[in-house]
Amino acid sequence: MRNIRLALLMIVLLGLGYPAAMTGLAQLLFPHQAKGSIIYEKGRAIGSELIGQSFQGDSYFHGRPSSIQYDASASGSPNYGPSSKEMMERMEKDAEQWLKKVPGKTKKDIPIDLITNSGSGLDPHISPAAALFQVPMVAKATGLSEQQLTRLVKQHIEGRAMGVFGEPRVNVVRLNMAVQKLVEERSKRNES
């Protein structure tokens, strides 16, 4: 009997009390993070800065391949093994697309993160090389100059944390927001 009472008590204390108290404290101390680091634009939620989005058009920088098309109500990868035929087929297909969109390059030039599925299928980042690789495509579609876009990419590179931990990377949603802003500013200038 005391065993069952102890079990029930643990469920209430650790399963209810602890997460509830932590939620209260987190919402108080770090409300932005606790709610999912949501980005608002003109009062509208346009995404989370931590979660990647699917970009199809050439006027946007693309994220990494995602077998779940960045559906954030799920997560995961196709779990291809290193000897998987399907994985090699997907890589070849994606590479072909990229070489069409970015002329003058060979398979060897494609940054590897652009043709590999991330673990979560929601990776918000690409490597700086992968962003720079796409500059000609975005320049052509938006009419922005390659120098302008290269500068933009470089501004958006997050370095290693404290110069040591993790890898240099570019947040694709943040970068595309900046691209959008430049395009809007230009069309405003043209109108006036």
Partner 1 sequence: MWHVFSQYTLIFLLLIVIAVPLGKYLYVAFFEKGKIDRFFSPIEAVIYRLSGIRSLEEMTWKSYCTALLIVNAALLGISYGLLRIQHYLPLNGAKVENMEPTLTFNTVVSFMTNTNLQHYSGESGLSILSQMLFVTMMMFTSAATGLTVATALIRALSKKGKTIGNFYQDFVRANVRVLLPLSVIVTILLVAFGVPQTFLARMAVSTLEGGTQTLALGPVASLESIKHLGTNGGGFFGANSSHPFENPHPFTNVIEMLSMWCIPAALPFTYGHAVKNRKQGWVLFATMFVLFVMMLGVVYNAEQSGNPLVGKSGFAADQGNMEGKEVRFGIPLSSLFTAITTAATTGSVNNMHDSLTPIGGLVPLALMMLNNVFGGDGVGFVNIMMYAMIAVFLSGLMVGRTPEFLGRKIEPKEMKLIVIALLLHPLIILAPSAIALMTHMGTEAISNPGFHGISQVVYEYTSSAANNGSGFEGLKDNTAFWNISTGVVMLLGRYVSIIAMLAVAGSLVGKQPVPETIGTFRTDTATFGVILFGTVFIIGALTFFPVLILGPVAEYLTIR
Nearest distance in Å: CB 105, partner 1: 11
Contacting partner 1 within 92-131 (CB under 8 A): 92, 95, 106-113, 115-127
What Rg do the C-alpha atoms of the chain give, in angstroms?
Answer: 22
57 binds partner 1 (CB under 8 A): yes
The token pair that represents 144 in the structure block? 């922005």
By CB under 8 A, name the one of 42, 56, 103, 104 that touches partner 1.
56
Contacting partner 1 within 147-176 (CB under 8 A): 160-161, 164-167, 169, 173, 176
DSSP 10-64: HIIIIIIIHHHHHHHHHHHH-HHHHTT-EEEETTEEEEETTS-----STTS----
23 binds partner 1 (CB under 8 A): yes
- In terms of DSSP bridges, do strands 125-126 and 38-41 run parallel, antiparallel, or are they unpaired? unpaired
Residues in contact with 132: Cβ distance below 8 Å, sequence separation at least 6, in sequence order = 150, 153
Show the binding pattern over residues 25-54: x = contacts partner 1 (CB under 8 A), - = does not: xxx-xx--xxxxxx-----xxxxx-xxxxx
Closer by beta carbon to partner 1, 108 or else 192:
108
